[in-house]
Amino acid sequence: MAVTSSSVSLTIVNPVTPGNQPANPTSTSTYAQYSSTVASGVTRRITAARGFLIGPPTGCDLRLTATPVGGQGTSAGQIVLSIIAQNIVTGIGGCATGTGATNGAQLAYTLKINTMTSLVANQNRSATITLTLTDS
């Protein structure tokens, strides 16, 4: 398994209209690419977890949605990334996603602002996200 980009940047920017909450920044430019050869009736899954040393900025959650194309598994929907691995794609049978820049399961990372009053100006955070392809 591979991803098309080794880093994603999410930046909270001031809203255009004063008094509004900033938009939740999202990046959809990264894809998980994988090949799977399995026996009849066997499936695989992809899990995601973030490193435990650094979490999202204060007042925010880091969320992830994986959207595979037909025949390459089923999205588990949006998850809140944590140190515990969670399914992001299930039901992967025999498939090969391809290796082009937009082949594979599209990964949508979102920084969800939960508590506006908890945001800290100029707070920068880095997180390592681990994706794992494993038998179900």
pLDDT, averaged across the chain: 94
pLDDT digits (tens, 9 = 90+) for 60-118: 999 999 999 999 999 999 999 999 999 999 999 999 999 999 999 999 999 999 999 98
Beginning with the edge strand found earlier in the chain, give each strand of the sheet holding 129-135 in spatial order. 74-75, 86-92, 44-50, 129-135
pLDDT at 68: 98
In a domain, 92, yes or no: yes
Max distance between CA atoms of the chain, in angstroms, equals: 57
pLDDT at 106: 98
Contact yes or no for 30/107 (Cβ under 8 A): yes
Q: Which domain holds residue 65?
A: 26-118+126-135
pLDDT at 105: 98
In a domain, 10, yes or no: no
Domains in the chain, number? 1
In a domain, 13, yes or no: no
pLDDT at 26: 97
pLDDT at 123: 84
In a domain, 6, yes or no: no
Rounded Cα–Cα distance for residues 32 and 106 (Å) = 7
